[in-house]
């Protein structure tokens, strides 16, 4: 461990603590010797009284010097411009919160409301995130609890489905994934086929979109219950659609796994055990129907945003 120095760019309390650690390592236990060493390692630009008889007096003297106010104001400025970056964007929540807490301590900010405002300011313009954070802070007056709530929310936020999110859909009854590939129906519309596949692959990746094409921005506002959206096939850029005019190859339902319903045609997405053959290969049929919903209409969202699908981007 190197001998600590003080030039006004750290908190006096932390300087004294580091010096005590240095002395402990080097078996210097006499308080007067520790005090003398602390004074000797203060930069000459910082003037202190000649008569200082204890480490507490030294700390008080350093805090009364103009360099300490400059240091605190610098820490507040850093807090003002500090921005949170989530793990999915390459950030580290633990490192961020440790840095945030350290800056608050260095600036000697202990007011819960002030700390909360600084923390809210680190968030982007994501109103959903800010509203949820404020809601959970109701009645909380502990800084540790505030930081823990922040951590919980940002972890939960990783699973929030947004416009622009990459997702996969798993059919509950069969365990197969809603998929598509660059082959077209030999009957009906002649458009790109949709089917249910055993394993998760790039052909099972879909993009939640506001429009009927791949979004330009990677992520947008969260998708809430009841919000309309398009499912765009990530590989091909084609949208999932259901049309009563075209019949599926095997069961003659509407061509085409979660209860996805077309808001215009009112058709519900369904998979079942029927298959169709294309180029000597069998595919499990996915269709659109207008009958009563049943077990074959149940789908769960399995892969969200990054975790499961990230290997397909490498």
Q: Specify the pLDDT at position 300.
A: 40
The rounded distance, in Å, linking the Cα atoms of 239 and 229 is: 11
Q: Specify the pLDDT at position 281.
A: 65
Q: Which residues, listed in sequence order, are joined to residue 17 by a DSSP beta bridge?
A: none
Quickly count: other Cβ atoms within 10 Å of residue 31's Cβ.
Answer: 13
The rounded distance, in Å, linking the Cα atoms of 76 and 96 is: 15
- The DSSP output letter for 125 is S
Q: Specify the pLDDT at position 41.
A: 96
Query: What is the pTM assigned to this prediction?
Result: 0.61
End-to-end CA distance of the chain: 42
Mean pLDDT (the chain, rounded): 76
- pLDDT tens-place string over residues 54-97: 999 999 999 999 999 999 999 999 999 999 988 878 889 999 99
The rounded distance, in Å, linking the Cα atoms of 20 and 13 is: 11
Quickly count: other Cβ atoms within 10 Å of residue 23's Cβ.
Answer: 19
At which residue do the structure tokens 């807490």 appear? 101
Residue partners of 27: CB distance under 8 A and separation at least 6: none
- % residues pLDDT > 70 (the chain): 67
In this structure, what token pair is assigned to residue 283?
């595919």
181 contacts 314 by C-beta, under 8 angstroms: no
**Domain 166-313 belongs in CATH node 2.80.10.50:** yes
- pLDDT tens-place string over residues 15-48: 999 999 999 999 999 999 999 999 999 999 999 9
Helix (H, G, I), strand (E, B) or coil at 271: strand
Q: What are the helix (H) ranges across the chain?
A: 12-25, 31-40, 55-64, 66-81, 93-106, 112-121, 127-136, 143-157
Residue partners of 124: CB distance under 8 A and separation at least 6: 83, 84
- Determine the average pLDDT of the residues in 172-177: 75
Domains of the chain, residue spans:
12-64, 69-157, 166-313
203 contacts 293 by C-beta, under 8 angstroms: no
The rounded distance, in Å, linking the Cα atoms of 181 and 166 is: 17
Q: Find how far residue 240's CA is from the centre of its chain.
A: 27
């Amino acid at each position: 461990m190197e001998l600590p120095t003080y030039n006004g760019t750290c908190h006096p309390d932390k300087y004294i603590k580091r010096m005590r650690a240095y002395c402990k390592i080097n078996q210097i236990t006499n308080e007067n010797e520790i005090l003398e060493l602390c004074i000797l390692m203060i930069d000459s630009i910082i003037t202190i009284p000649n008569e200082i008889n204890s480490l507490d007096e030294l700390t008080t003297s350093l805090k009364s010097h103009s360099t300490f106010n400059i240091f605190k104001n610098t820490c507040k400025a850093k807090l003002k411009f500090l921005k949170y970056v989530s793990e999915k964007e390459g950030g580290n929540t633990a490192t961020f919160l440790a840095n945030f807490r350290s800056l608050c301590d260095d600036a000697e900010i202990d007011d819960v409301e002030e700390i909360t405002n600084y923390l809210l300011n680190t968030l982007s313009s994501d109103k959903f995130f800010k509203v949820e954070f404020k809601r959970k802070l109701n009645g909380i007056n502990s800084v540790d609890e505030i930081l823990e709530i922040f951590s919980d929310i940002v972890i939960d936020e990783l699973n929030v489905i947004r416009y622009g999110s990459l997702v996969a859909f798993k059919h509950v009854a069969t365990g197969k994934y809603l998929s598509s590939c660059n082959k077209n129906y030999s009957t009906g519309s002649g458009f790109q086929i949709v089917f249910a596949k055993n394993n998760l692959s790039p052909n099972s990746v879909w993009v939640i979109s506001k429009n009927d094409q791949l979004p330009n921005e990677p992520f947008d506002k969260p998708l809430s219950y009841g919000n309309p959206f398009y499912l765009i096939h990530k590989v091909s850029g084609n949208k999932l659609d259901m049309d009563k005019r075209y019949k599926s190859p095997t069961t003659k339902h509407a061509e085409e796994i979660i209860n996805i319903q077309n808001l215009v045609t009112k058709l519900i997405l369904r998979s079942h055990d029927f298959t169709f053959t294309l180029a000597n290969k069998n595919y499990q049929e996915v269709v659109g129907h207008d009958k009563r919903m049943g077990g074959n209409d149940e789908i769960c969202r399995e892969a969200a945003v990054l975790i499961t699908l990230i290997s397909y981007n490498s």
